[in-house]
């Protein structure tokens, strides 16, 4: 009975194949929105990926829920790496949460997916919008419309080892020329003057951005003289040995490790490393200044945006957003997450950032930080930039050629 | 089995269903996915139409795809050859029943026990151009004058990852080959000694031919383990510099989880799968031939 075996086996196989095919088409009609709680409140579901500050978030939500009797917000944790996928699946099934939190660079691609609500009018009408920093606010824009609000921000600065600078009788650099000079002079047998991350990942793009924008370049014109100048600066410092070849495989974490073991006199890094540096090497005295400039002081913006989905009750969600983004709440929340508030007024008025030796250095930096993109195809643009950086730093291509190749790739996706 | 007793097949169904669910379903799903046009947008609209081989064509045009196939092959062959040769030599060494042999054999296993991510970080640290111990040692003994850019030179980076992987794979090869060696019949060696065979003759005329089935298994498993490398490359270089250490699995990961082009990612994963399937079939064929002979 070989046939019987074969028949039943193939039928099983077929069954699985068919069910695999049909998997995507079974759209459920159930909608996660417009639900009401027992006490007649409008229910709003928030997706977030905060692990360390989850408790604080819950506290905040409780506070909001008690403060009024129209909206009830509850939260759900979705891992960062899953959020895009979960959203697209949720969108197909009509099961979207009402509010989501995403990385700033993902805001545009989420908007391009058609998942988010256009809240341009509300953003423009809100009297507090003007207090937000410009770049974080711009990071919510896709095709001229606002699809979210900035929630938390961070940026890159130049960390320097105070002891080494004092010994050499130098001041922290402010211009590219000074940076080159300081990096070269502070380089010795067992340490390098400067560390930046040029590993093949988003981190390389992130770290290159301040230099690109300081020269007056941008990602849409990578073939420009300005972009060439920025990449040449990095290449020069590598060629004259002020930086180690290891930057091509160094992540920002690696930089922090080397900086705290005093193998680097300076590094480009973000405020989230401060605590780590203090823990790793409590005896080390370090300072933070803006990344040295060419034409203008610049930095790169990181952090999160908060967005309302297209099927949500936008009014109710917006009510919560304006409450959360108000100075009293946003100050506590950003403090707790270790980020910076995206609001100029909070940065200026709150004592928390102003009075901290390290954090205060980031206040002027936050004001000039540029958002990456925004573009729905950011990962591809970023990869083109990463490749250009690595091609020129490894002498595989001259700076000019590497950048014009990258510019061609960017043009293709834009 | 005898004819007319197909009810007996019922007993294998639990296992078959289990395999189909856990292995068959994802495989088939992945194959179907690679023939459809699925990215974030189409997931959102639910429109997954079939484009058949368009994904594979698009993949071939992807920046770095060709080199990633080549890298995967170089990485696999380079790793497996050295792992097996060194593993075999170590197995021979430890089969010379000296004191501490089994203890030392256990110590060698350590590199197999360390999580790959940790190994990757360790090697990244040791291969640092300035302070890394590799360069320090090589320069200390005067073997090189200038530090080697282990992970920063596109011509060397792949081999640096291979070195790390060889270190990881040696104990596994050694253990399997040791077991194989201890199962070889003693009498063959005795009569060979009587006939005046020297050590090399015994090695090439007796040990290796008798060890053939074990060697085949070791080569096969080594190939499969190595071919789907991910952690080592991802942590040590991230696929860089440029595309010099990009392999099929990192390309598939990048496409699926960075760019969310799920279909392209599935296509890349399927190419990996097809090559492995091909190698497995060759292996089964060789095993069958062995048994028939």
**CATH code of the domain covering residue A92:** 3.40.190.10
- Residue A6: its pLDDT value, please? 54
* Closest approach of A252 to chain B, Cα-based (Å): 13
How many Å lie between the alpha carbon of A197 and the closest alpha carbon of chain B? 12
B194 CB neighbour count, 10 Å cutoff:
8
pLDDT in tens, A202-224: 999 999 999 999 999 999 999 99
Please give the C-alpha separations between residue B47 and each of A27, A97, A117, B40, in angstroms, as whole numbers.
11, 21, 21, 11
Q: Which CATH architecture has domain B51-292?
A: Orthogonal Bundle (1.10)
User: Is residue A324 one of the residues assigned to a domain?
Assistant: yes
- Do residues A68 and A134 share a domain? yes
Which chain B residues have a beta carbon less than 8 Å from that of A84? 40, 260
Using one digit for the tens of pLDDT, what is the confidence trace for A37-58?
666 788 999 999 887 778 889 9
Domain count, chain A: 2
Biggest CA pair distance of chain B: 78
Instruction: Tell if the CB–CB gap between B151 and A246 is shorter than 8 Å.
Output: yes
pLDDT at A32: 44
CB of B291 closer than 8 Å to CB of B212:
no
Q: Are B67 and B157 in contact (CB under 8 A)?
A: no
**How far does A325 lie from chain B, in Å, by closest CA?**
29
Are B150 and B156 within 8 A, CB to CB?
A: yes
Question: Inter-chain contact A246–B130, Cβ cutoff 8 Å?
Answer: yes
The alpha carbon dihedral of A235, A241, A245, A247 has a sign of negative
On chain B, the residues whose CB falls within 8 A of the CB of A16 are 20-21, 24-25, 28
- pLDDT band of B130, cuts 50, 70, 90: confident
Candidates A199, A248, A253: best to mutate against B (most CBs of B within 10 A) is A248
Of A88-102, A149-163, A287-301, which range is least confident?
A: A88-102
Give the pLDDT score at B4.
59
Same domain, A144 and A162: no
Q: Is A248 within 8 Å of B238 when comparing Cβ atoms? A: no
Task: Kindly list the strands in the beta sheet with A264-269, ordered across the sheet, starting from the edge strand earlier in the chain.
Answer: A192-195, A264-269, A157-161, A286-289
| CA dist., res. A5 & res. A7, Å (int) | 5
Candidates B278, B224, B227, B277; CA nearest to B252 is B227
Are B129 and A246 within 8 A, CB to CB?
yes
Contacts of A107 in chain B (CB under 8 A): none
Q: What is the pLDDT of residue A19?
A: 47
The pLDDT of residue B107 is: 86
B6 chain-A contacts, CB cut-off 8 A: 1, 4-5
Average pLDDT of chain B to the nearest whole number: 88
Which run of H or E residues covers position A140? none
Q: Which of A23, A81, A114 sits opposite B44 (nearest CB)?
A: A114
Residue A278 sits in the same domain as residue A390 = yes
CB contact under 8 A, A393 and B257: no
The confidence score (pLDDT) of residue A229 equals 97
Closest Cα of chain B to A24: distance in Å? 7
Q: How far apart are CA A213 and CA A230, in angstroms?
A: 8
**Is A105 in the same domain as A216?**
no
**CB–CB of A112 and B238 under 8 A?**
no
* ipTM beyond cut 0.90: no
| Partner-chain residue, chosen from A9, A21, A394, that has the shortest CB–CB distance to B241 | A394
Question: Per the CB < 8 Å rule, is A200 touching B240?
Answer: yes
- Name the residue of chain B whose CA is nearest to A188's CA: B130
Q: Quick one: A195 and A214 in the same domain?
A: yes
> A240 and A118, same structural domain?
no
Q: How far is A242 from chain B (nearest CA, A)?
A: 12
**In this structure, is residue A34 part of a structural domain?**
no
**A245/B152 Cβ within 8 A:** yes
Residues A184 and A247 in one domain: yes
pLDDT at A24 over 50: no
Does A85 contact B260 at a Cβ distance shorter than 8 Å? yes
B131 contacts A5? CB cut-off 8 A: no
Whether residue A258 sits in one domain with residue A210: yes
Q: Please state the length of chain B.
A: 293
CA closest to B32 among chain A residues = A21
Rounded CA-CA distance B165/B74 in Å is 13
Kindly report, residue by residue over B204-225, the tens digit of the pLDDT.
889 999 998 899 889 988 998 8
pLDDT tens-digit readout, B145-193: 888 999 999 999 999 999 999 999 999 999 999 999 988 998 988 898 8
Domain shared by A140 and A161, yes or no: no
What pLDDT is recorded for position A4?
55
Contacts of A191 (CB under 8 A, 6+ apart): A164, A262, A263, A264, A265
What is the arithmetic mean of pLDDT over A158-180? 96
| Shared domain check, A274 and A317 | no
Find the CB nearest A20 among B28, B130, B257: B28
Note the pLDDT tens digit of each residue in B10-65.
Answer: 888 888 888 888 988 989 988 998 999 887 777 767 777 888 888 999 899 888 89
Q: For residue A29, is it within any domain? A: no
Residue A402 and residue A17: Cα distance in Å, rounded? Answer: 46
- How far B238 CA lies from chain A's nearest CA (Å)? 5
**Average pLDDT of chain A to the nearest whole number:** 88
Cα B201 to Cα A37: distance, rounded to the nearest angstrom = 84
A167 falls within a domain:
yes
User: Among A271, A137, A295, which residue's Cα sits nearest to residue A212?
Assistant: A295
Residue scoring higher pLDDT (A20 or B167): B167
The answer to whether the CB of B149 falls within 8 A of the CB of B105 is no
Residues of chain B with Cβ-Cβ distance to A85 below 8 Å are 40, 43, 260
Is the CB of residue A110 less than 8 Å from the CB of residue A87?
Answer: yes
- pLDDT value at position A40? 77
Domain assignment of residue A322, yes or no: yes
- Report the chain A residue with the minimal C-alpha distance to residue B240: A200
Note if the pTM is more than 0.80: yes
- Predicted pLDDT of residue B145: 86
Considering chain A, what percentage of its residues have pLDDT values greater than 90?
73
Task: Give A33's pLDDT tier (boundaries 50, 70, 90).
Answer: very low
Does A372 map to a domain? Answer: no
C-alpha distance from A15 to closest chain B C-alpha (Å): 10
Chain B hits for A199, Cβ within 8 Å: 237-238, 240
CA angle B28, B30, B35 (to 5 degrees): 100
A281 Cα to chain B: minimum distance (Å) = 19
Query: Is residue A52 assigned to a domain?
Result: yes
Q: Which one has a higher pLDDT value, B8 or A390?
A: A390
B21: chain A residues, CB-CB within 8 Å: 16
A275 and A168 within one domain: yes
Residues in chain A: 414
Nearest C-alpha in A relative to B238: A200
Instruction: Give CA angle at B265 (B260, B270), nearest 5°.
Output: 160
The minimum CA-CA distance between A192 and chain B, rounded to whole Å, is: 9
Domain housing A75: 42-153+303-363
Q: Which string of b and e fits A179-212 if b means at least 16 CB within 10 Å?
A: bbebbebbbeeebbbbbbbbbbbbbbbbbbbbbb
The predicted-structure confidence for A91-131, as pLDDT tens digits, reads as follows: 777 778 999 999 999 899 889 888 899 999 999 999 999 99
d(Cα A65, Cα A336) in Å, to the nearest integer? Answer: 20
Contact A190 B45 (CB under 8 A): no
Confidence of residue A10 (pLDDT cuts 50, 70, 90): low
Q: What are the pLDDT digits (tens) for B231-268? A: 999 999 999 899 999 999 999 998 888 888 889 999 99
On the question of pLDDT at A289 being above 80, the answer is yes
For residues A47 and A121, state if they share a domain.
Answer: yes
Smallest Cβ–Cβ distance between B20 and the set A5, A16, A383 belongs to: A16
Tokens 């081989």 sit on residue: B53
- Kindly give the pairing relationship between strand A264-269 and strand A192-195: parallel
Task: Specify if A264 maps to a domain.
Answer: yes
**What residue of A is the nearest CA neighbor of B147?**
A245
| pLDDT of B287 over the 90 cut | no
């Amino acid at each position: 009975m070989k046939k019987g075996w074969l028949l039943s086996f193939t039928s099983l196989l077929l069954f699985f194949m068919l069910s695999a095919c049909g998997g995507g088409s079974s759209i459920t009609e159930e909608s996660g929105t417009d639900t009401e709680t027992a006490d007649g409140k409008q229910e709003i579901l928030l997706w977030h990926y905060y692990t360390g500050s989850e408790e604080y978030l819950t506290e905040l939500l409780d506070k909001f829920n008690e403060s009024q009797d129209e909206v009830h917000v509850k939260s759900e944790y979705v891992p960062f790496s899953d959020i895009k996928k979960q959203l697209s699946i949720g969108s197909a099934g009509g099961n979207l949460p009402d509010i989501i939190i995403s990385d700033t660079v993902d805001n545009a691609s989420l908007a391009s997916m058609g998942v988010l609500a256009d809240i341009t009018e509300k953003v423009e009408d809100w009297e507090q919008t003007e207090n937000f920093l410009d770049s974080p606010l711009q990071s919510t824009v896709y095709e001229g419309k606002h699809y979210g609000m900035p929630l938390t921000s961070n940026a890159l600065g130049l960390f320097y080892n105070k002891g080494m600078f004092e010994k050499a009788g130098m001041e922290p650099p402010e211009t590219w020329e000074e940076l080159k000079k300081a990096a070269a002079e502070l380089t010795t047998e067992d340490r390098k003057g400067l560390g930046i991350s040029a590993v093949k990942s988003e981190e390389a793009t992130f770290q290159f951005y301040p230099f690109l924008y300081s020269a007056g370049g941008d990602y849409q014109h990578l073939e420009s003289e300005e972009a060439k100048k920025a990449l040449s600066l990095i290449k020069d410092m590598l060629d004259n040995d002020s930086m180690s070849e290891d930057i091509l495989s160094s992540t920002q974490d690696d930089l922090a490790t080397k900086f705290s073991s005093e193998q680097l006199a300076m590094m480009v890094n973000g405020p989230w490393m401060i605590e780590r540096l203090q823990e790793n090497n409590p005896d080390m005295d370090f300072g933070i200044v803006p990344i040295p400039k060419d034409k203008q002081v610049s930095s790169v913006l990181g952090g999160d945006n908060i967005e309302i989905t297209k099927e949500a009750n936008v009014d109710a969600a917006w009510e919560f957003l304006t409450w959360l983004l108000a100075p009293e709440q946003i100050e506590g929340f950003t403090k707790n997450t270790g980020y910076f508030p995206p609001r100029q007024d909070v940065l200026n008025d709150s004592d928390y950032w102003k009075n901290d030796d390290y954090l205060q250095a980031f206040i002027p930096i936050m004001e000039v930080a540029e958002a990456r993109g925004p573009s729905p195809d950011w990962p591809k643009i970023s990869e083109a930039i990463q490749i250009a950086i690595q091609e020129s730093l490894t002498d595989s291509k001259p700076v000019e050629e590497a950048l014009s190749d990258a510019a061609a790739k960017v043009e293709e996706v834009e | 089995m005898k004819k007319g007793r197909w009810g007996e097949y019922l007993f294998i169904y639990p296992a078959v269903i289990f395999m189909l669910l856990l292995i068959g379903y994802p495989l088939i799903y992945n194959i179907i996915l690679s023939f459809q046009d699925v990215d974030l947008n189409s997931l959102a609209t639910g429109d997954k139409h079939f484009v058949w081989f368009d994904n594979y064509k698009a993949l071939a045009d992807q920046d770095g795809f060709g080199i990633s196939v080549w890298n995967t092959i170089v990485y696999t062959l380079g790793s497996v050859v050295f792992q097996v040769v060194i593993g075999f030599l170590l197995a021979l060494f430890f089969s010379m029943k000296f004191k501490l042999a089994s203890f030392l054999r256990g110590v060698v296993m350590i590199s197999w026990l360390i999580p790959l991510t940790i190994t990757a970080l360790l090697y990244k640290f040791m291969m640092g151009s300035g302070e890394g111990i590799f360069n320090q040692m090589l320069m200390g003994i005067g073997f090189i004058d200038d530090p080697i850019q282990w992970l920063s030179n596109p011509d060397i980076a792949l081999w640096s990852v291979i070195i790390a992987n060889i270190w990881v794979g040696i104990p596994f090869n050694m253990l399997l080959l040791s077991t194989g060696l201890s199962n070889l019949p003693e009498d063959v060696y005795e009569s060979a000694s009587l006939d005046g065979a020297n050590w090399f003759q015994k090695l090439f005329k007796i040990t290796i031919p008798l060890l053939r089935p074990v060697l085949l298994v070791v080569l096969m498993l080594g190939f499969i383990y190595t071919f789907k490398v991910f952690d080592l490359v991802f942590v040590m270089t991230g696929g860089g510099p440029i595309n010099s250490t990009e392999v099929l699995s990192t390309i598939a990961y990048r496409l699926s989880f960075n760019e969310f082009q799920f279909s392209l990612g599935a296509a890349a994963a399927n190419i990996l799968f097809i090559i492995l399937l091909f190698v497995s079939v060759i292996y089964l064929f060789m095993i069958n031939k062995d048994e028939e002979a």
